[in-house]
């Protein structure tokens, strides 16, 4: 009977899982709590490092943004100085040799808002052919593509072709 009980005990010990043995160990609970505490501490330290890194990056980006805004203001000021009419007139006179014209030599053309004159059929056809020829493929070694057909956009309403 003793031998049977001993074999039963050995069989139970062999068949008991490793997790059950580990869980029943006397240092399991303190070790689990310590490892959990260390994991939380590591995550907290990593999080703080990330916060410091991102706060430095935000500070750098704010400084860069301020520099860009300052440069933008300077460029607008330079643009205003360069586009003054007196500077343009002086540049035209000094560099290009242009002179101011008197008012009697000036001619003003006013647009009355009327529709432009109608083109004849031949000029409309030539304009359409020119528009289409802009989209025709050009055979060059650098731009040639095998088995590629590009669509040609055709707008028939330009110059009154589709209107009635």
Calpha distance 28→59 (Å, rounded): 47
122: its two tokens: 């031949």
Confidence of residue 164 (pLDDT cuts 50, 70, 90): very low
How do residues 30-75 score in pLDDT, each as one tens digit?
A: 999 999 999 999 999 999 999 999 999 999 999 999 999 999 999 9
Q: What angle do CA 108, 110, 112 make, to 5 degrees?
A: 165
Sign of the Cα pseudo-torsion (135, 136, 142, 148, in order): positive
Rounded Cα gap, residues 135 and 83, in angstroms: 38
Residue 39, in any domain of the structure: yes
Mean pLDDT in the chain?
81
d(CA 17, CA 25): 13
Does any domain span residue 115?
no
User: What total of structural domains would you count in the chain?
Assistant: 1
Tokens matching residue 48:
């703080």
The C-alpha atoms of residue 52 and residue 139 are separated, in whole angstroms, by 58
Note if the pTM is more than 0.75: no
Residue 155 lies in a domain: no
Q: If you average pLDDT over residues 159-164, what whole number do you get? A: 49
Label residue 117 by pLDDT band (50, 70, 90): low
Tell whether 79 is covered by a domain. no
Q: Which residue has the higher pLDDT, 154 or 106?
A: 106
Domain with 15, as residue range(s), is 2-71
């Amino acid at each position: 009977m003793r031998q049977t009980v001993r074999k039963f005990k050995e069989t139970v010990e062999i068949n008991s899982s490793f997790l059950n043995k580990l869980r029943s160990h006397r240092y399991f609970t303190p070790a689990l709590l310590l490892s959990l505490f260390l994991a939380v501490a590591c995550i907290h330290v990593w999080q703080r490092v990330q916060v410091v890194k991102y706060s430095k990056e935000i500070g750098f980006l704010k400084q860069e943004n301020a520099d860009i805004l300052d440069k933008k203001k300077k460029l607008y000021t330079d643009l205003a100085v360069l586009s003054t009419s007196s500077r343009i007139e002086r540049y035209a006179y000094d560099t290009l040799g242009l002179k101011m014209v008197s008012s009697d030599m000036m001619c003003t053309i006013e647009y009355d808002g009327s529709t432009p004159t109608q083109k004849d059929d031949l000029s409309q056809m030539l304009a359409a052919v020119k528009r289409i020829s802009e989209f025709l493929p050009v055979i060059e070694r650098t731009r040639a593509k095998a088995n590629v057909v590009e669509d040609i956009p055709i707008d028939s309403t330009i110059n009154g072709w589709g209107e009635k």
